[in-house]
Structure formats: structure tokens, C-alpha cells
Chain A
């Protein structure tokens, strides 16, 4: 296997009601990534995309082929990956393996989504398709309901009183909005407070409005290349040092293991072992904070905190720049936004910029960051992790 590096990246603004189509947004991010890599579309050998609900949001399937044609990557193989909110990270992992194997030298990976075009009722319906349609959706099971039930289970199992857990969860959202203020691509540019989180309307107990990430439109893309090619194209290659992916079944099938998510623990173990690194080596992490409680569960599964103690990282400020494990310094899904097919590519874009030291001007650089971790969760059944490093 060859070493593979991120060469260039592109990222649209994440927003409500984008005036652009999914293909347009992804084409813009892709051309930015190709230009940042000092390449032309003809240099790209294959395209790997994440897109989930294009058929529902704009009646458009198969965005990957139209993307290839739009950006002038004529007739090259273009594939789409569907793993709900983890789709782009799945695409990145597969793209990585094709380059690592020697089959391709230069590939484009990206994702796009236009969820706000659906409106909240249809978006809620379609996001619920990432739970079990026959055995669990009939009870009205929505995606927020998964993490809502996780929160109550967490409180009970680890004996963290719900009131304290809710405050920890609110701190997660407050921090995300704080850093979102500094990210020009973020959907929200406003500070919030714990009181504001705790007074929001109830979506599904105990999750209130500001415990939940928004529906979003946007796209992100990256160019991956083999090490020798990458070194010719950039003096700051960021290497993919480890990848991991795992799956699980419907929520009830995960029973005794919950609120822990076994898929994450297995996926990140693969990534750590491949990289020869552990949680103590990670300088900065972008993790899947679709809901505030999801962040607390994630830091535990990734090895940054003991089970039942994840929320204490936010209480002690350890998740900020300068803390023990800076988390979601982009604003995360909560404030940066969560266009589901694009999220993994957005997380990789962010970690690449952190490791290149490009975020000083935005006031959110993690000083000296050399190793980063991406964590993306799709539905109740997919988790993908990536470990990035500078050498």
C-alpha cells in the first residue's frame, strides 16, 4: 500500500436555502479543490461522491456523473456512496484505498446536500429513513429520537443526573456556536448561552432546539493523491495515516451495548492501529455532533474520556483550543451546519487546514497541531474514522 495525501480542498458556505443546485455547489467546491491542487480537471482519474437525499430535495439522483461532466472531468468513473450522514467519509475511505492500492494516482472526493429545500416535515421524514423502516419507524422513530433515547439511557446507566447532563449538553452547543462565529463557512454566526439552550422548544425529550444541528445546504471536496504525486503538487501534504469503518443494525439490535456505539469503537480502533497512534496522540478532532449528546458519547468512544465522563471535558474547557483535546473548532455540525452528504468532506477540509496551520487569521488555530481525527456517523448503522498527519 502506498501513502496517500490530501493535496487541495474546497468548501462552500453552509447555509439555509442555497440558491445553487447540489451539482452546482459540489462543482464549485470541486473546482476550488482542483485549483488549490494546481491541477486541471483532466488530471483527475476518478470521482467519489457523497449525496443522500438529492432525489427528495431536488428530484436529482446520480449527481456524481453530472458533477464529472460539469467540471470537465469527461467520462471518468464516478461513484456515489450512501451511508446517510457518513456518506462523504465512506467515499473518502474508499478513494483512499483505490489510491493506496496503486490503481489511481489522483482522485477527487466530495459531497453535497440541499436538505433545506425539503422543509422540516419532509426532511424529518427522510432523515427517519436512516432508522429501521419496518420495525422502528412505525413507532414514530425519528433521528433525533435515537439520540434522545440515548441521552436518557446515558443518564440512567452512568448515574449522571439528567439536569447535569443537560447542562453538559448545552455547553457542547455553546462551544460550537462560539467557534462557528469564527468560521466564515459556517451556517450560524451567533453566540448562544446555556440558558438559551435550556429554554428552547422541545424537539424530542430531552433534546431541545439548540441541542440539534440544523438542516443545511452545502458542499465540500478534496483531492487525494499518492505520496510522490502529492509532494510534487504541494509542500504541505496531509497524509491519511489510518482509516476505519464499521456498521451496526437497528437501535434495538444494539441493545445491551447502548448507549455506547460499538461501530465507533471498532472503526476508530482500526484507524488507530493502522496509524500506530492512540487517542493521546490526537491534537485536534472533528466529530459527529449531530446532537449535543452525540458529542459526549463520541469523545468516550474515541478514547478521549472514560465512559460516563465525556461531558466533563466541556465542563473543564478541555475541548477548546489549548485544551486537552480540541473538538469541533470549526463550529461542528451544530454551528457550521450539516449538509449530510458533504459533512465528511467538510470535516477533512477542516482538519487539513488545522494541520497546515491555516486558521491563525480566523482565530481558531490549534497551535502546533500535527495529528487530527475525523469521526462521522451515519444513521444508527455506520461510523467512519480517518486519522490525518503532517508527516
Chain B
């Protein structure tokens, strides 16, 4: 059985600022990041949908100790965003001063952009990830 929406297709779309996910025709749940089956009911009757890319921050961290090869990115902020359609997705937060990163971030409305991680020795090529900024 083939993936309805695989990583490469997801990443290529994200590079055009399109956040693709899956809508379950059995239970209506949206699954994003995509996977083989619905995150709630394990159903496989799924259709590819473009999500709004809007959501709110549910948690975050500001990382100072980066993995090998990514030291120049630190410090950076990782956010988990609950998308308007329901699923949670991880990305980075931009447009914020480092000293403003605190619990007040939780609940802030954000919108989607993207940035490409070019990959390193241990990753199979590049990968786009969501890059969130505040909704105006």
C-alpha cells in the first residue's frame, strides 16, 4: 500500500508555503504531519488537503545547545503549533526578540512560512519545515 502523502511530496509543497495534510473520510480528523493512516482512527480512506497554516502556539523552547553542524543557528526557538484544523505541528518561530521568549508565547496566533534544512551527513537530503511568525 502506497502512502497517500509521503514526506518528499509534503516537503516540496511546503517549499511553496503550502502545508499539506490528510483528511480522514471516516472520522473527519486532519492528520499533519502526514502518515500512512489517520492519527485518530487508523483509517486509510484519506484525502490530501491544503491546511490554512494558521494556528496557535501550544508550547515552545529556546535552544542554546545545538546539535553538531547547527551551532550557528543557536539560539533558536522551536514551537509546537495547534493548527486551526486540529493537528499539532512543529516548526521554528521568527520575528521575536530573544528576551521576549517566555510563557506569554503560549496561545499566540501564528501563521505559516517555511525554511529548508539543507541536511547533513546523517540526513537523507534536505527537508523543509514550518517557520511560524505572529499573525498581525
Give me the interface of A with B, judged by CB distance under 8 Å. 120-122, 124-126, 128-129, 132-142, 144-145, 148-150, 152-153, 155-156, 162, 201-207, 249-253, 255, 258
Task: Name the CB-closest residue of B to A156.
Answer: B106
Whether A140 lies near B66 (C-beta < 8 A) is yes
- Residues on B with C-beta less than 8 A from A258 are 59
Whether A252 lies near B128 (C-beta < 8 A) is no
- Residues on A with C-beta less than 8 A from B128 are 138
* Known contacts A149-B59, A149-B78; 5 further A-B pairs (Cβ under 8 A): A125-B69, A139-B92, A140-B92, A156-B103, A201-B64
Q: Say which residue of A134, A162, A201 sits within 8 Å of B7 (CB atoms).
A: A134
Smallest CB–CB gap between A277 and chain B, Å?
Answer: 32
Smallest CB–CB gap between A92 and chain B, Å?
Answer: 29
Whether B64 lies near A204 (C-beta < 8 A) is yes
Within 8 A of A (CB), among B70-123: 70-71, 73-74, 76, 78, 80, 82, 87-92, 101, 103, 106, 117, 120, 122-123
Give me the interface of B with A, judged by CB distance under 8 Å. 7, 11, 33, 35, 39, 58-71, 73-74, 76, 78, 80, 82, 87-92, 101, 103, 106, 117, 120, 122-123, 127-130
**How many A-B residue pairs lie within 8 Å, measured between CB atoms?**
120
A140 to B43, CA, bound (A): 31
- Residues on A with C-beta less than 8 A from B106 are 152, 156
Q: Say which residue of B11, B62, B82 sits within 8 Å of A205 (CB atoms).
A: B62
Smallest CB–CB gap between B51 and chain A, Å?
Answer: 13
Smallest CB–CB gap between A214 and chain B, Å?
Answer: 13
Smallest CB–CB gap between B75 and chain A, Å?
Answer: 8
Q: In the complex where A139-B129, A149-B80 touch, is A122 in contact with B61 (Cβ < 8 A)?
A: no
Smallest CB–CB gap between A212 and chain B, Å?
Answer: 9
Whether A140 lies near B89 (C-beta < 8 A) is no
Interface class of chain A by DSSP: helix
- Residues on A with C-beta less than 8 A from B88 are 252, 255
A156 to B117, CA, bound (A): 30
A207 to B61, CA, bound (A): 9
- Residues on A with C-beta less than 8 A from B80 are 149, 153, 251-252
